[in-house]
Structure 1
Amino acid sequence: MSTPLVEARGVVKRYGPTTALADGRLTVLPGESHALVGRNGAGKSTLVSILTGLQAADEGEVRFDGDPAPAPADRDAWRRKVACVYQKPTLVPELTVAENLFLAEIHAGKTRRLNSRDGRGPGGCPPGKHSINRQPLNRGFISWRRLRAEAAELLATWDVHVDPEARTSDLKVEDRQMVEIARALSFGARFIVLDEPTAQLDNREIERLFTRMRALQQSGVTFLFISHHLQEVYEVCQTVTVLRDARWIVTAPVAEMPRTALVEAMAGETVAEQAVHTRNSVSTAPILLDARGLTSDAYQDVDLTVRRGEVVGLAGISGSGKIELAESFTGLHTPTSGTAQLDSERLPFGDVQAALKAGVGFVPRDRHAQGLVFGMTIGDNATLSVLDRLGRYGFVGTDRKRGFATELIDRLNIHTEGPDQPVSDLSGGNAQKVVMARALASEPRLLVLINPTAGVDVKSKESLLARVDSARDDGTAVLVVSDELDDLRRCDRVIVLFHGRVVAEHPAGWHDRELIASIEGVAHG
């Protein structure tokens, strides 16, 4: 057996009286993709923060290639060992790809420029290539020509097909991730942590990411892959480690760990067969959402109805128009033609506030960029959509808002110290519940959910989907856009878009192969 590239033994981390990690263990071999799984709160993020040098362990040890980990203050040494590509982008959106590649340090959304010098060039090139302030200099000034040339060289080295002069904000999510990976590799790191990298990708983008991962593995790069989507573990990883309740549970080859055994290791209990969600017939219920002839740059001539108490899924590949169509009902887009009525009243397009007042609740696709205000509390975030109900003349009663927020916290089972806790303190699953709470706070007639369970653990996913069932029971019309088959199974029917057009409709009880064939364009040529 070769020397582990990364090894953690008996790692303990405490925050006051709270033990975030009681027994962290991990052994990652060179050149493999190693999955780290567990429910939110299992200790994954804490272990990663220690593996990347952002925090020091209280007990235990971390080794790289058999040697002790660098000292916590030695950021240069840590950058040469490991890098993390977070679910939330850490590149500076206003800068170009080339400028981002040569920033000295970015982690967890913070950027820092260093004054020391580094001997490595792009892609591990010979010493003297450029400074660790990373921008190549000419008489003390940045040489923009060399910066672009070296960025192009670095991207080519790792087969990343992105324009060095493109603004980072204009890149697709998958390309931003590859830029971050290339940036990490340029420091010399060959161990990359991918934290929920597929949360904002569709099926084809995910497959492209996995193809790139496999190619990088062949070049000697090792991955720690963190995901709540267990099917991805089986697609791209060779080994899996499970954490539960802040402790190591098991490490095993993926091929020898059946899915049921993996879920049981994560949950700590025997997994029963998935319950079949019974649905009352809604075929005679009144129509709440009635859209006719909707057309835009993303979709063409779409007719769509959703009845009271009905859950309708929208599925399709990237570029199918499913997200743009759903976002149109929330006021984010204006179709070029067509109309929509909500409960027999004309639904306004292009005006989010007007859509909210008309009775539309919304869970956006990206809780980081669109769903939460991270400088505010849980209570503030949960009640943003109903402030006009909590006060008069622009003044909001503090006690009334706190009480309303507490009811939402209890209703959604959000694990928190209370409504005054910063929302930034929450795990991914609980943060998503806050977004859902705000959507439900206005008691919407139409609830639009886009990727509602992206990046959350098994338990939180079930809790969020249970809210969909509750909304159905309350007579709400629900529109669910998702690439997750488990999300779509809760739907009374699933409508498939392909290149902007509705091409299929599947009633509840569809088989996976049938739906996937429609999504991929197999069933309709």
Structure 2
Amino acid sequence: MTHDPRAPLLTMSGIVKSYPGVRALKGVDFDLRAGEIHCLIGENGAGKSTLMRVMAGAETPDAGGVTMDGQTYASIDPVRSHALGITVIYQETDLVMPLTVAENIFLGHEKTGRGGVLDRAAMRAQVIELMERFNLRFPVDEPVGNLGPAQRQLVQIVKAISRDSRVIVLDEPTASLTDNEIRHLFELLAVFKAQGIGIVYVSHRLQEIIEIGDRVTIMRDGTKVATHAVTDIDESHLIEAMVGRPLDDALPPKTDTSTSEVVMAVRGLSVQGQFDDVSFELRRGEVLGLGGLVGAGRSELLECLFGITQPDAGEVSVHGRPVRFASPREAIRAGLGLVPEERRESGLVVGRSVEDNIAFPILDSVSRFTLMRRAQLRGIAGDLVAKLRIKTPTLDQIVRTLSGGNQQKIVLAKWLAAGTRILLLDEPSRGVDVNAKFEIHQLIRLLTAQGMSVIMASSDMLELLALSDRVLVMAEGKVSGILSGDQATQVEVMRYAVPRSANPAREAA
């Protein structure tokens, strides 16, 4: 089947959308052709997510319209959006965790048999057929809550396929995927293009846009800056268009701020089925990077250190004192803070204000006789919003309405408010734009220069190598090596990250 590459499959014209104190979209035009990948980029807060939510029917625009199949709609609701074949796969998954993979894929368009009874066998068979067609392997009867972020992302893609979507919007689809899974995703997208599906690809990873995109639209401050054929623009020009000025993407020169003082010592720490016999020391002012492939046990290790899970064996000491945190509250009191990978699920209460989120770890210190010292709290929150350059109209702004980069800064702000001295970071720049990423990296450098110690798990190899004083590499739940700054190269980290059974070269080493 052939498709006219010039034919607009979907057109958005003059889209305007405002929230209290924020004009998110200022007359934005956007169009998508059949059988193309149209990339959408911009800093967090540029309006990309709002534009996609209008397309999906999750937001009603104040002005403008959406045209598809020759008909223009002043607004579309989610039901009409689905009927038109539009599917948006958000960065933060919207799956129902207790339901199985098969049940999630058919949620909202279930197959029924006689008497309206769910035909679970038919749904299961179709899911298996879809997965085999696209070479995906999932336990279809497994609850989605038992899967990792990468697998959940792929489940959502299968869900879109099952709906015969004509337009698929992918919001930061590779943020939680390994290199192999990214390659597989790109192969899937090539198949979708050949079938005439229009794909909107929202990403901060500019190299991916250059690799797979046909066209790219750049947004800034709620407006469309430009649309280019990808072949007509390079990465440096994309960055300049996004931020409105040339941006030196390099990190500041790395300076070793660590001392010989050990602030945390871990010996033989184990959690059955997650990681085993982990030992290391963390020094004052140090960034200790955690390298490894997805599933190596890095996130699980951070959760154990923070008291979310309990170890089956091993010892932890903080500032020379043995500790065993029964809960995160105890870890916080000992000076630890965790910035989780899934910030919206675990790091924030997105329905509450910026001020409230910054306050949660310090409620005891700003309360007296159950009455909160509101003026004191606003002062603390206001200072941190300014220090971290958090873009928010007011401290009362609901966190859900802010961009991913600003949400991540709020998670960091609450731990700074709590006086955290040991910061646990899990994928700190996941899903943030290049400018916010740069600012987060600068903040980490500043904090360690002031004596904070950081344990940072990152799948971004450049980030891991640029920020870490040492890199602890994990493979299959075990420590496979600890590399000093001059030893830590991309080749060496990957050599230790590959499981031993698949890495004869490391066996010989």
TM-score higher than 0.5 here?
yes
- Describe the SS at the equivalent of 2:192: helix
- CA positional deviation for 1:77: 4.3
2:41 equivalent to 1:41: no
- Describe the SS at the equivalent of 2:276: coil
Q: Which residue identity is paired with 2:388?
A: L
Distance (whole Å) between structure 2 residues aligned to residue 205 and residue 15 of structure 1:
37
1:15-414 equivalences in 2 (<5 Å)? 15=19, 18-64=22-68, 67-70=70-73, 72-73=75-76, 76-79=79-82, 80-104=84-108, 134-152=110-128, 160-272=136-248, 274-280=250-256, 282=258, 284-296=259-271, 297-392=273-368, 394-414=370-390
Identical aligned pairs, as a percentage? 33
- Selected match of 1:497 from 474, 493, 499: 474
Distance (whole Å) between structure 1 residues aligned to residue 21 and residue 349 of structure 2:
28
Q: Is the contact made by 1:21 and 1:46 (CA closer than 8 Å) also made in structure 2? A: yes
- Selected match of 1:524 from 495, 502, 506: 506
Distance (whole Å) between structure 1 residues aligned to residue 302 and residue 281 of structure 2:
12
Q: Is the contact made by 2:288 and 2:468 (CA closer than 8 Å) also made in structure 1? A: yes
Q: Is the contact made by 1:64 and 1:81 (CA closer than 8 Å) also made in structure 2? A: no
Distance (whole Å) between structure 2 residues aligned to residue 455 and residue 301 of structure 1:
32
- CA positional deviation for 1:70: 4.8
Q: Which residue identity is paired with 1:289?
A: M
- CA positional deviation for 1:481: 0.7
Distance (whole Å) between structure 2 residues aligned to residue 398 and residue 519 of structure 1:
48
Aligned to 1:110: none
Distance (whole Å) between structure 1 residues aligned to residue 66 and residue 78 of structure 2:
16
- Describe the SS at the equivalent of 1:436: helix
Aligned to 1:111: none
- CA positional deviation for 1:58: 4.9
Q: Is the contact made by 2:98 and 2:145 (CA closer than 8 Å) also made in structure 1? A: yes
Distance (whole Å) between structure 1 residues aligned to residue 236 and residue 475 of structure 2:
33
Gap change, CA 1:71 and 1:94, over 3 Å in 2: farther
Aligned to 2:484: 507
Where in structure 1 do 4 or more consecutive aligned residues deviate above 6 Å? Answer: none
2:449 equivalent to 1:473: yes
Q: Any idea what the Cα deviations from partners look like across 1:470-523, whole Å, max 9, x if unmatched?
A: 221221111111112343212212222122233333433654444444434666
- Selected match of 1:483 from 453, 459, 462: 459
Gap change, CA 1:332 and 1:210, over 3 Å in 2: farther
Gap change, CA 1:161 and 1:55, over 3 Å in 2: same
- CA positional deviation for 1:41: 1.9
Gap change, CA 1:469 and 1:360, over 3 Å in 2: same
Q: Any idea what the Cα deviations from partners look like across 1:126-150, whole Å, max 9, x if unmatched?
A: xxxxxx6x44142244444444445
- CA positional deviation for 1:3: 1.3
2:455 equivalent to 1:455: no
Gap change, CA 1:155 and 1:493, over 3 Å in 2: closer
Q: Which moved more, 1:511-520 or 1:440-449?
A: 511-520
Distance (whole Å) between structure 1 residues aligned to residue 254 and residue 21 of structure 2:
44
Aligned to 1:125: none
Q: Is the contact made by 1:428 and 1:456 (CA closer than 8 Å) also made in structure 2? A: yes
Q: Is the contact made by 2:38 and 2:199 (CA closer than 8 Å) also made in structure 1? A: yes
In angstroms, what is the RMSD of aligned CA positions? 2.8
Distance (whole Å) between structure 2 residues aligned to residue 280 and residue 494 of structure 1:
14
Q: Which moved more, 1:350-359 or 1:389-398?
A: 389-398
Q: Which moved more, 1:71-80 or 1:441-450?
A: 71-80
Distance (whole Å) between structure 2 residues aligned to residue 425 and residue 74 of structure 1:
19
Q: Is the contact made by 2:9 and 2:32 (CA closer than 8 Å) also made in structure 1? A: yes
Q: Is the contact made by 1:298 and 1:321 (CA closer than 8 Å) also made in structure 2? A: yes
- Selected match of 2:419 from 443, 454, 463: 443
Gap change, CA 1:56 and 1:319, over 3 Å in 2: closer
- Describe the SS at the equivalent of 1:224: strand
Aligned to 2:409: 433
- Describe the SS at the equivalent of 1:469: helix
Q: Which moved more, 1:424-433 or 1:210-219?
A: 210-219
What is the total number of aligned residue pairs between the two structures? 495
Consecutive unaligned residues of structure 1, counting only runs of 5 or more, are: 105-131
Q: Any idea what the Cα deviations from partners look like across 1:389-433, whole Å, max 9, x if unmatched?
A: 112455433333333222322232222233322222221111111
Gap change, CA 1:483 and 1:144, over 3 Å in 2: closer
Q: Is the contact made by 2:316 and 2:322 (CA closer than 8 Å) also made in structure 1? A: yes
Q: Which moved more, 1:358-367 or 1:483-492?
A: 483-492
- CA positional deviation for 1:370: 0.5
Distance (whole Å) between structure 2 residues aligned to residue 16 and residue 286 of structure 1:
49
Gap change, CA 1:28 and 1:472, over 3 Å in 2: same
Distance (whole Å) between structure 2 residues aligned to residue 173 and residue 152 of structure 1:
20
Distance (whole Å) between structure 2 residues aligned to residue 425 and residue 64 of structure 1:
28
Gap change, CA 1:259 and 1:138, over 3 Å in 2: same
Q: Which residue identity is paired with 1:355?
A: A
Distance (whole Å) between structure 2 residues aligned to residue 34 and residue 516 of structure 1:
32
- Describe the SS at the equivalent of 1:524: helix
Q: Any idea what the Cα deviations from partners look like across 1:87-136, whole Å, max 9, x if unmatched?
A: 122222222333333333xxxxxxxxxxxxxxxxxxxxxxxxxxx6x441
Q: Is the contact made by 1:333 and 1:349 (CA closer than 8 Å) also made in structure 2? A: no
Distance (whole Å) between structure 1 residues aligned to residue 398 and residue 86 of structure 2:
29
Q: Is the contact made by 2:65 and 2:74 (CA closer than 8 Å) also made in structure 1? A: no
Gap change, CA 1:142 and 1:276, over 3 Å in 2: closer
Q: Which moved more, 1:376-385 or 1:309-318?
A: 376-385
- CA positional deviation for 1:309: 0.8
Distance (whole Å) between structure 2 residues aligned to residue 511 and residue 442 of structure 1:
35
Distance (whole Å) between structure 2 residues aligned to residue 524 and residue 223 of structure 1:
41
Consecutive unaligned residues of structure 2, counting only runs of 5 or more, are: none
Distance (whole Å) between structure 2 residues aligned to residue 358 and residue 417 of structure 1:
34
- CA positional deviation for 1:19: 3.6
Gap change, CA 1:200 and 1:350, over 3 Å in 2: farther
Q: Which residue identity is paired with 1:287?
A: V
